[in-house]
Amino acid sequence: MTGETILVIEDNVVNLKLAQVFLKKHGFNVLSATDADEALMVLKDHKPKLILMDLQLPGIDGLQLTKLLKSSPQTKDIIIVALTAYEAEGDEDKAKLAGCDAYVTKPFDTKTLPDLIACFLNREFVNK
């Protein structure tokens, strides 16, 4: 699965940089955006296989952006994995209803994340 393109949408610059370094270290091509508008600009020129979507984005949040992407013929097939630091009851259900294919809480376990991403890329959406 290395070599696949992943778009990381994360407004926290430190978290974004960590994700970029980690994913690149594991052989993925990494695109990034810090908000929905920037993500939409990236998606005009690129079609990643997977998006790691922070749900707490400024402006258009991750749930709204996911709904938008899943309703578009150009982006509906991209795998979207919700990332959130705030795990409240019902959050995972909200993410799934918005169209997220999977749900992961932050901070994520760097030891299991490569295997988890491989599962997502293979469309094996079993949250661990």
Q: For residue 128, what pLDDT is reported?
A: 39
Q: For residue 1, what pLDDT is reported?
A: 58
Over pLDDT 70: what percentage of the chain? 94
Q: For residue 98, what pLDDT is reported?
A: 95
Stated length of the chain: 128
Domain that holds residue 103: 5-121
Is residue 128 one of the residues assigned to a domain? Answer: no
> Which pLDDT tens digit goes with each residue over 103-127?
888 777 777 777 888 888 887 764 4
Q: Give phi and psi for 79, each to the nearest 5.
A: -75, 125
> Which pLDDT tens digit goes with each residue over 51-84?
999 999 999 999 999 999 999 999 999 999 998 8
Structure-block tokens of residue 87:
């795990």
The answer to whether the CB of 10 falls within 8 A of the CB of 32 is: yes
Listed residue (128, 81, 79) closest to 103, CA to CA: 81
Query: Which single residue is written with the structure tokens 């990332």?
Result: 83
CATH code of residue 101: 3.40.50.2300
Is residue 91 one of the residues assigned to a domain? Answer: yes
Distance between CA atoms of residues 76 and 59, nearest Å: 21
Is residue 127 one of the residues assigned to a domain? Answer: no
Judged against a pLDDT cut of 60, whether residue 7 lies above it is answered with: yes
Is residue 126 one of the residues assigned to a domain? Answer: no
Angle of CA points 61, 125, 72, to nearest 5°: 45
Return the H-helix or E-strand segment holding 84.
strand 79-84
Is residue 64 one of the residues assigned to a domain? Answer: yes
Domains contained in the chain, number? 1
